[in-house]
Structure 1
């Protein structure tokens, strides 16, 4: 790849994408070979990356075959690839799945056979796509001519029957406003939604032969844009519209332009409401966390001043329960989620707080965790926080009385719709004849009533195993 091409790629990635310098370096390595690929396959090769908005892609590198005809008259580096015209590219960028021998429309309105492969970084994250395009315009043209001969009679009769029965054709019943304008930007056709849109926005009737910009001056820049295919969102009279421009014909012989407008106001309003609700929910979580930490601080202050030594253990248990619940809200606030908690982070935070944050009569106690990242909603997370707190406290209090050291292992796994959390220790072993502690009573109540699950605790060959199993999402959990 040439030095100026490498500089252009780096500049485009920095301006339009969220890629890291390491990601850009990986793309440069791939780009160094695309000219060889283009010559070998007699195809145009491109590298596209997802833009910051995540709605479309941008071309950051290209190579045309040097010994055969190229697809494009002009360079497309820096051009956008929209989902509406090149769905395979955006699909691969978002999913990491390849798309082979897929048909697409180029920036210059040519039909091509397109294959798309993901480009991934060292962390297996998709950072771009490698695209190969072959011109099949002649093949498609020949195929269409054959199809036209057999379908012409059927289409003509269908249109005639529709007119006879006073039924609207497709353009008359689609929800989007559709305008067809000529080279002078004069309206040749507009469907009923387009007529109503003009009437609503400027209180005028859309008349054929009048320039569209006379009714909608906000569209002038988009209509005059040199791109043949363009999608843009604009605001007109406090309403939001997605506007698509499709130029027909060629530069030498244009035949007209389609302008398609879709009212996005309701969608944008709902998005705004969701953002406001998300901010409100996070503010509530923040206040709950602060209130719990205030209560914890008051308990610590009380312990230092007026609590007998023999009663401090009960205060510590209450303190840990409060801090376990507070951990739920700390994790929510530190993540991008509004109301979901990573179970692994929650269990690790609570376990480390209890095992490594306190003295245990000179005993050396360690804790390990096993399980992948798993999200649960905040209400379940609060119940799980209390359950994990009590089970780990139970291990520390009862399992290692006659041992100098011990280990606690917390593992969790998803089985279909059920989540199972298991707490093992290598201590003395649980006795069924022993009276249940208050902590285990809390666990049993929380699991059965709040989580709708089952709790079991049994002696094993190497200690004790406590298991909690419940459905991750029960009917009625979500609205």
Structure 2
């Protein structure tokens, strides 16, 4: 045991606030662990509270030679957390014994655990002596009984019938479970419930005590005539979902389950998401306003006069800016700050270009067809610019010498790809024509931003420009 006592000395001095006298007491008890383990056919440990008091650390252990060990690997030096071993932390805090509880081992196994406090010479709690037995066979039997937990009447009958011996409700469930009689007096509670009462009231949870002595906020919930009631309550800056299940008037099953579920972390994440959504929406709003400000400056410059041969470039730049602004307008009009309706976007851009003031004397109509599809805002900006350039290209070049023009924008989703076509009945595309800046922009954005494919070709009557790209690739 010399090596073992040295390990105790090192671990206690490194992780605990125990005095030299306390450490010697722990060493003395540790020498008897092998005999205790063999006699009880169980694994035995000594856990001591860590410096901050939130966890415990295993400082000594012994495996039985008379039975199969629960553990494959040594656990000395490992930390014991309250979520997995609530009985250990409860004993270290209160000095109360805990017998035949369920716990999760360092290796993820479920064991039956008994815990007694180790007291120093000044009657202070310096550690906990823990005994753990493998209950895998019992758990197999318990799994068969899980189906019964769906029927509250059957479950309560089993619970009430075994109250004087051992309850069979799983001890490792996360929720705090209380069972009360018609006068609100506690008849049963699991280890999680014990810890909750201690955390809220710094008191021991006792059978026969009215539950509203510990939780005054439950009075109205218990008095309610509803058999099944769920309500959120706030206790010590934590949010809990309280569920009340009142059982029928069966002779052996008459009472109420009160179940506490901690929703604090969930509500905090929801709050963070709301804040994030508000921030993103504000950013989109500012981007839209800035784009519209730039567009207004361009319009002002055009009204003050620009050379006629430069006017078309101002109009093209203005439409590109307004096409991007359209994305943010649509985002701000929807509840989801990251999704954009493709039909709404294409229609807004197409109408803006075709029915603009500078083209009011030209007889051009435009139609749209496609299913309701939403895309992410980053892709929507690229699509907005692509649609802008293709429609603008039609209006600018396709209908020279033609009295009446027609443009149709089609799109469809096939498997995970989006196909977009812009069709006109104009003079037709000429491959030998000088490449335009607009089509260069389309080609670059389709290939580089959307990882897609762009083609434009002369049709029997007019031109067909096609875009194809995957929807899920970033």
Query: Under TM normalisation by the shorter chain, which class is it?
Result: 0.5 to 0.7
Deviations 1:67-119 (A, max 9, x none): xxxxxxxxxxxxxxxxxxxxxxxxxxxxxxxxxxxxxxxxxxxxxxxxxxxxx
User: In structure 2, what is the equivalent of residue 289 of structure 1?
Assistant: 288
What SS does the corresponding residue of 1:240 show, helix, strand or coil? strand
Matching of residues 14-413 of structure 1 within 5 Å: 169-250=168-249, 255-360=254-359, 362-413=361-412
| Residues 345-390 of structure 1: per-residue CA shift (max 9 Å, x gap) | 1100000000012333832001000012211111111101100000
Deviations 1:115-142 (A, max 9, x none): xxxxxxxxxxxxxxxxxxxxxxxxxxxx
Assess if the C-alpha contact under 8 Å between 1:327 and 1:349 holds in 2: yes
Deviation at 1:190, TM superposition (A): 0.6
SS for the counterpart of 2:254 is strand
> Any idea what SS the aligned residue of 1:412 has?
strand
Asked if the contact 1:247/1:254 (under 8 Å) is kept, the reply is: no
**Counterpart of 1:473?**
472
Alpha-carbon distance, 1:414 to partner: 0.7
- Matched residue, 2:100: none
2:462 and 2:267 map into 1 onto residues whose CA distance is: 57
The TM-score normalised by the length of structure 2 is 0.64
Correspondence list, 1:433-452, <5 A = 433-452=432-451
CA contact (8 A) 1:426 1:463 kept: yes
Give how far 1:461 is off. Answer: 1.1
- The worse-fitting range, judged by mean Cα deviation, of 267-276 and 243-252 is 243-252
Inter-CA distance 361–286: structure 2 relative to 1 (3 Å threshold): closer
Give the conservation status (yes or no) of the 8 Å contact 1:183–1:254. Answer: no
CA distance, structure 2, for counterparts of residue 363 and residue 247 of structure 1: 75
| Partner deviation per Cα, 1:258-277 (whole Å, 9 max, x = no partner) | 01110111111111110000
Does structure 2 retain, via aligned residues, the 8 Å contact 1:171–1:178? no
The 2-side partners of 1:299 and 1:169 are apart by: 77
Shift of 1:303: 1.4
Q: Which residue of 2 aligns with 1:415?
A: 414
Residue 33 of structure 1: aligned partner: none
Counterpart position of 1:73 = none
Secondary structure of 1:294 counterpart: helix
What is the RMSD of the two structures over their aligned residues, measured on CA atoms?
2.7
For residues 158-206 of structure 1, give each alpha carbon's deviation from its aligned partner in whole angstroms, at most 9, with x where no partner exists.
x9xxx8xxxx954311111100111111111111111111111111121
How big is the shift at 1:252? 9.7
CA distance in 2: counterparts of 1:441 and 1:417, whole angstroms: 26
Alpha-carbon distance in 2 for matches of 1:203, 1:387: 66
Distance 1:169 1:297 in 2: 74
In structure 1, distance between residues paired with 2:204 and 2:363: 84
Report how far residue 306 of structure 1 moved: 4.5
The Cα of 1:463 is off from its aligned counterpart by 1.1
The 1-side partners of 2:204 and 2:442 are apart by: 70
TM-score between both structures, scaled by the size of structure 1: 0.63
Distance of 2:298 and 2:262 partners within structure 1: 56
In 1, the alpha carbon distance for the partners of 2:444 and 2:197 equals: 63
Can you give the 5+ residue segments of structure 2 that lack an aligned partner in the other structure?
A: 1-146, 149-157
Q: Distance in 1 between matches of 2:236 and 2:251?
A: 36
1:251 offset after TM fit, Å? 9.4
Q: Distance in 2 between matches of 1:363 and 1:413?
A: 29
> What is the Cα deviation at residue 293 of structure 1?
0.5
Gaps of 5+ in 1: 1-143, 146-154
- After superposition, give the CA deviation of every residue in 1:238-283 in whole Å (9 maximum; x if it has no partner): 2111111111123999711101110111111111110000000000
The alpha-carbon distance between structure 1 residues 189 and 438, as it changes in their structure 2 partners (threshold 3 A), is same
Q: Distance in 1 between matches of 2:226 and 2:168?
A: 29
Provide the rounded CA distance (Å) in 1 between the counterparts of 2:432 and 2:305.
Answer: 37
